[in-house]
Chain A
């Protein structure tokens, strides 16, 4: 917001024995921004978050959080960060109130200040009606709110959320994100990992990890405009039909001018030669017996971006992989 860096990662590498979990990752998150980290399972997302939280020590490189070095100034870093892990990790056998009370006292909050903070997070997360429930009996969405409330207790400057919305229903997901926006507006830097593209679209900056390497990082709009995503001489269209999208895809892939075809619900996203018109595609697809198909030009989605970049940059990484491991 004011140009300061909330999270700064410089050339971070992490090895677990002979397995390289992160390879030379560099990225910056401006203060007060929501940063979305995406990538397949096992690509190193959680490892990066755990390094930034001081739970793991990087093998090489350095990282700062809110201007503090995570390795050398771990003590101060922990005063200023909040961490919501992938699995619910508060005390299931304590009530909502007891959990919050515990974390408030861990952060050395005392007296009136402590009461006020607890009330603040309870209101923020709408946990009021559940204060006396055991955390273990709460449903997924409420557990996540409780975890967030506990992580916010000390008004952290940077909040790390590792797949905070995994396995919770769409309404709870939407509400959680509204809460995140509210906090970001208050100047809290958010570092979020997710698998959901709609969540990624809402982030100020997104980055994609693939096989332990950061293959791209930037604003969603900038990523969609990358030349690699829609190479010169090609364009993107959507082919929509009422049913039979699977057949549509196998048919489309046989056309010589189609470079890529991906299903999105009941429609198909195609990367085609730029000189082929919508009508031409429509006619060719109808020739396969799919009569109600409609073709129209589209912008690439973030998913298109990541799928495409995995194909191009990912290939390079995979090709270079054997040499990398021997280092």
Chain B
């Protein structure tokens, strides 16, 4: 380990002097955290247009129920089917409801009453939530009518309990996972850059003609970045807890003690990249090659159960699952 202290001190000096690195490691993650923190994944108040041909008390009641869910806001009543379609195509409203002229008559006669609901399917998360809400409203309405007529009460009632996140707050779900993602990005890229920069500038060659040991170069260079990534972790966890009020029910100590293991594995990934890449540009692209799959297969973006891979393959991607978002999120939220 000859030359370790020299490498370590030099790296710290360089790191503190390099505004770009500090910006990348500390400011950008905070910015992204705030961005994700204010996002609400639940689609509320979806603009809705209505073509009500029935104009009866019954049709009015149905529309009120749509609005009561707070998923949909009726922003306009239009005079024709064509106008409904225009509203969806132009992007003015993702949901359009058409009530036929015979709606109330059919209801009164005990026949099936139809309602047309058009949903803009190009935005999946809005579409699925709108669909669920619309189905819910219509089912509720139908059931109510049926029960009123027969004078009975429903036999089965569900009592769902949303554990860990009773209010369904998006921040509670997004931010803990985001921590792992941000660390994955900055940990891998910072360490890859640190070594590739030396190669690009020719300083690595200069080091190789001195008696400094290769291990000292690697450890001396990566240790400061481990510190930086750890500081980043603490910063983000603090912001999460105090700015976005995400409760930490699990063991904070365990998180802080175990996370360096994850960070070391990220730095090692960066080291692997830097052993191949000749320029920082190349390193960036190779690091992306590692990070995108590890983020996409982590369960943060898509549910793990929906990944199109065999169970065997799923075991293979386990590292990203084990240490990445789901584990971090549950460590924070569960009171394990």
Residues of A participating in the B interface, judged by any CB pair closer than 8 Å: 53-55, 75, 78-79, 81, 83, 85, 87-94, 98, 102-103, 105-108
Q: For the complex formed, measure the closest distance between the CB of A71 and the CB atoms of chain B, giving whole angstroms.
A: 14
4 closest residue pairs by CB, A with B: A89-B202, A105-B6, A83-B209, A89-B206
The reply to whether A91 and B211 form a contact with Cβ atoms under 8 Å apart is no
Q: Mark B1-30, 1 if CB is under 8 A from A, else 0.
A: 011011001100110011000000000000
With A55-B209, A103-B210 in contact, do A87 and B14 touch (Cβ < 8 Å)?
Answer: no
With A75-B211, A98-B13 in contact, do A88 and B202 touch (Cβ < 8 Å)?
Answer: yes
Secondary structure at the B interface, as helix, strand, loop or mixed, is helix
Q: For the complex formed, measure the closest distance between the CB of A124 and the CB atoms of chain B, giving whole angstroms.
A: 19
In the complex, residue of chain B having the shortest beta-carbon distance to the beta carbon of A103: B210
B205 in the interface, Cβ–Cβ < 8 Å? yes
The reply to whether B208 and A55 form a contact with Cβ atoms under 8 Å apart is yes
Contact check: which of B3, B201, B207 meets A105 at CB < 8 Å?
B3
The reply to whether B205 and A98 form a contact with Cβ atoms under 8 Å apart is no
Sample 5 A-B pairs with CB under 8 A, ordered by A number. A78-B211, A85-B206, A98-B10, A102-B6, A102-B9
**Bound state CA distance, A103 and B13, in angstroms?**
14
B56 in the interface, Cβ–Cβ < 8 Å? no
Chain B, 180-237, CB within 8 A of any chain A CB: 201-203, 205-212
The reply to whether B10 and A92 form a contact with Cβ atoms under 8 Å apart is no
Q: For the complex formed, measure the closest distance between the CB of A54 and the CB atoms of chain B, giving whole angstroms.
A: 7
**Bound state CA distance, A224 and B3, in angstroms?**
48
**Bound state CA distance, A255 and B182, in angstroms?**
77
In the complex, residue of chain B having the shortest beta-carbon distance to the beta carbon of A147: B206
Interface residues of B, CB < 8 Å — how many? 21
With A75-B211, A98-B10, A106-B211 in contact, do A89 and B2 touch (Cβ < 8 Å)?
Answer: no
Contacts of A89 in B (CB 8 A): 201-203, 205-206
**Bound state CA distance, A92 and B206, in angstroms?**
13
**Bound state CA distance, A107 and B209, in angstroms?**
11
Interchain pairs with CB closer than 8 A, number: 59
**Bound state CA distance, A53 and B212, in angstroms?**
14
Contacts of B209 in A (CB 8 A): 53-55, 78, 81, 83
With A87-B202, A105-B3, A105-B6 in contact, do A94 and B14 touch (Cβ < 8 Å)?
Answer: yes
**Bound state CA distance, A79 and B209, in angstroms?**
9
Chain B, 29-54, CB within 8 A of any chain A CB: none
Q: For the complex formed, measure the closest distance between the CB of A304 and the CB atoms of chain B, giving whole angstroms.
A: 35
Q: For the complex formed, measure the closest distance between the CB of B297 and the CB atoms of chain A, giving whole angstroms.
A: 37
Q: For the complex formed, measure the closest distance between the CB of A308 and the CB atoms of chain B, giving whole angstroms.
A: 35
Contacts of A85 in B (CB 8 A): 202, 205-206
**Bound state CA distance, A53 and B211, in angstroms?**
11
Q: For the complex formed, measure the closest distance between the CB of A89 and the CB atoms of chain B, giving whole angstroms.
A: 4
Contact check: which of A88, A98, A106 meets B212 at CB < 8 Å?
A106
In the complex, residue of chain A having the shortest beta-carbon distance to the beta carbon of B206: A89
Contacts of A98 in B (CB 8 A): 10, 13
Q: Mark B277-309, 1 if CB is under 8 A from A, else 0.
A: 000000000000000000000000000000000
In the complex, residue of chain B having the shortest beta-carbon distance to the beta carbon of A75: B211
The reply to whether B14 and A91 form a contact with Cβ atoms under 8 Å apart is yes
Q: For the complex formed, measure the closest distance between the CB of B195 and the CB atoms of chain A, giving whole angstroms.
A: 14
Contacts of A108 in B (CB 8 A): 2-3, 211
Contacts of A103 in B (CB 8 A): 210
**Bound state CA distance, A259 and B202, in angstroms?**
45
Q: For the complex formed, measure the closest distance between the CB of B252 and the CB atoms of chain A, giving whole angstroms.
A: 36
The reply to whether A79 and B211 form a contact with Cβ atoms under 8 Å apart is yes
**Most chain-A CB neighbours within 10 Å: which of B2, B9, B206?**
B206
**Bound state CA distance, A102 and B207, in angstroms?**
11
Q: For the complex formed, measure the closest distance between the CB of B199 and the CB atoms of chain A, giving whole angstroms.
A: 10
**Bound state CA distance, A78 and B9, in angstroms?**
22
**Bound state CA distance, A87 and B205, in angstroms?**
11
The reply to whether A90 and B14 form a contact with Cβ atoms under 8 Å apart is no
Contacts of B201 in A (CB 8 A): 89, 91-92
In the complex, residue of chain B having the shortest beta-carbon distance to the beta carbon of A153: B210
Other than A55-B205, A93-B17, A94-B13, give 19 A-B pairs with Cβ distance below 8 A.
A53-B209, A54-B209, A55-B208, A78-B210, A85-B205, A89-B202, A89-B206, A90-B206, A91-B14, A91-B201, A91-B203, A94-B14, A94-B17, A98-B10, A102-B9, A105-B6, A106-B6, A106-B212, A108-B2
In the complex, residue of chain A having the shortest beta-carbon distance to the beta carbon of B207: A106
Q: For the complex formed, measure the closest distance between the CB of A312 and the CB atoms of chain B, giving whole angstroms.
A: 36
The reply to whether A105 and B5 form a contact with Cβ atoms under 8 Å apart is yes
**Bound state CA distance, A75 and B212, in angstroms?**
9
The reply to whether A107 and B211 form a contact with Cβ atoms under 8 Å apart is yes
Q: For the complex formed, measure the closest distance between the CB of B8 and the CB atoms of chain A, giving whole angstroms.
A: 10
**Bound state CA distance, A102 and B202, in angstroms?**
16
In the complex, residue of chain A having the shortest beta-carbon distance to the beta carbon of B203: A89
**Bound state CA distance, A83 and B202, in angstroms?**
12
